[in-house]
Amino acid sequence: MWSNLSSIAVYIDRFAKKLGIPELRVDSEKLTSVAGVLVRPDFPHADGLEQASPFKKAAYFFVWFVGERPILDGLKPEILGGDITGIPNHQNVIFAYHLAVDCLEGARIFRQDGQNVELTNRIKVSYHFYRDFVEAFSSTVPEDDFKKVSLLFEQLAYRDNDASYPQSI
C-alpha cells in the first residue's frame, strides 16, 4: 500500500506542476484510503486483482479516487477553461483520468482469443468528450460506476490501438 501511496502522491505533485500549480492541498487520509483500496483482497474481478485487465485496474483506481475526493483545491479556469472548472469535483476526475490513461499507455492485454496486445498508443479524446466525461463522472460512486468506467477505458484504448475483438453484434 505504501508504494501505491507514494506513486500516487508523486504523480499528483508532478501533474500539478505540469498544469502550473505550484501547491495543491490534498487530504492525506483520503489519499491513503485510495491507496489502501488498491490492495484489498475483494477486488471486483472473478480471478482477483492479478488476473484483472488493465482497464479494470485503471477503472478501479479512477472510481475510488474520484469517490474519495482527495484533492481539495479546484483548478483555476485559466488552466482548463471555466466550463470544466465550474463542475463540482472536477479536479479529482481530471487527476484520476490522467493517471489512469498514463497507466494504460504501454499496458499489455492478454486476450481470451490468445492474442496479446500492447497498448502502444495513448488514449486521446476531444475536448468535448473530456468535458462531458468530467461532468458525467464528477459524482462517481465506486460500486455503481466501476464497470461503466472499465468498459469506457477499454473501448477508448481499443479504438486508439486498433485492438478490438472482432465485432459480432
Domain ranges of the chain: 2-161
Alpha-carbon span 113 to 15, nearest angstrom = 37
CA dist 138 and 128 (Å) reads 15
108: part of which helix (H) or strand (E)?
strand 108-110
pLDDT for the residue numbered 39: 81
Structure confidence by residue, pLDDT tens digits, 98-152: 999 999 999 998 877 778 889 999 999 999 999 999 999 999 999 999 999 999 9
pLDDT digits (tens, 9 = 90+) for 70-84: 999 999 998 887 789
DSSP code of 115? -
What CA–CA distance (Å, rounded) separates 45 from 42?
A: 8
Say how far apart CA 54 and CA 108 lie, in whole Å: 8
